[in-house]
Structure formats: structure tokens, C-alpha cells
Amino acid sequence: MNKMSVVDMMNAMVPITRFNKGEAAKIFDEVETTGTKIVVKNNRPACVLISPSQYESLMDLLSDYALMVEAQKRVACNDDSENLSHEEMLKELGVTGDDLVDIDVDIE
């Protein structure tokens, strides 16, 4: 993730009055060309404008993080005494290594 410097943040600020003057299309074009914009109303940040691709990337990152946290919780709570080795599982299922040789598996 790129961090914004103070200068970048100042350049990213857009007063709400620009929207009120009908400059929304121009501001959206600026988001596409220069990146994130911070809309300021009454000298306070009111919202942040980002491109759809940036939003999608952030949502993917957030989802990945949530999945990682869940995986870490499950690993921490795992009781290794209940786990079966690969060989034990094959024996329990009545499958041999030869049975698996010609099986195609797609992992996404």
C-alpha cells in the first residue's frame, strides 16, 4: 500500500464547493488520472473518492486479511491428536496410492 505524504494529501483535497459548482465529472476524471481525492466539507474530510479498481483491490485485501485471521484462529485451536496422516486417511477410506494415480484434480 502506498502511503500519502502531507503534500500528496494536501493536493488530494477537494472542497465540496467544486461539486456544488458542477465540477463532479472533472473531479472523477482527476481520480482516474491522479488517484485518491479527499472531499472536504466545512474544513473537515467528508469522504474519500477512489477508483473502482482501487476499491476492488482494497476489498480483496480486506477479505484476504479476514480469511487469514480465521485460519490463524483455527490453527491455534487445532488439536493435533485428532489429525490423521495421509496414509491413515487412505487406509480409513479404503483407497490405495495406485487408485489415485490417474485422477486429475484442478485446484483454484
Tell me whether residue 74 is in a domain: no
In terms of Cα–Cα distance, which of 90, 13, 68 is closest to 44?
13
Tell me whether residue 79 is in a domain: no
Tell me whether residue 11 is in a domain: yes
Residue 23's domain is classified under what CATH number? Answer: 3.40.1620.10
Which of 32-36, 78-82, 93-97 has the least mean pLDDT? 78-82
Q: What is the dihedral of CA 89, 93, 95, 96, to 10 degrees?
A: 30
Tell me whether residue 65 is in a domain: no
Three-class SS of residue 46? strand
- Domains identified in the chain, total number: 1
Which structural domain, as residue segments, surrounds residue 28? Answer: 6-53
Confidence of residue 7 (pLDDT cuts 50, 70, 90): confident
Q: What is the dihedral of CA 59, 61, 64, 66, to 10 degrees?
A: -70
pTM of the predicted model as reported, rounded to 2 decimal places: 0.61
pLDDT at 73: 95
Tell me whether residue 45 is in a domain: yes
- C-alpha 88 chain-centroid distance: 37
Percent of the chain with pLDDT over 70: 98
37-70 residue pLDDT tens? 999 999 999 999 999 999 999 999 999 999 999 9
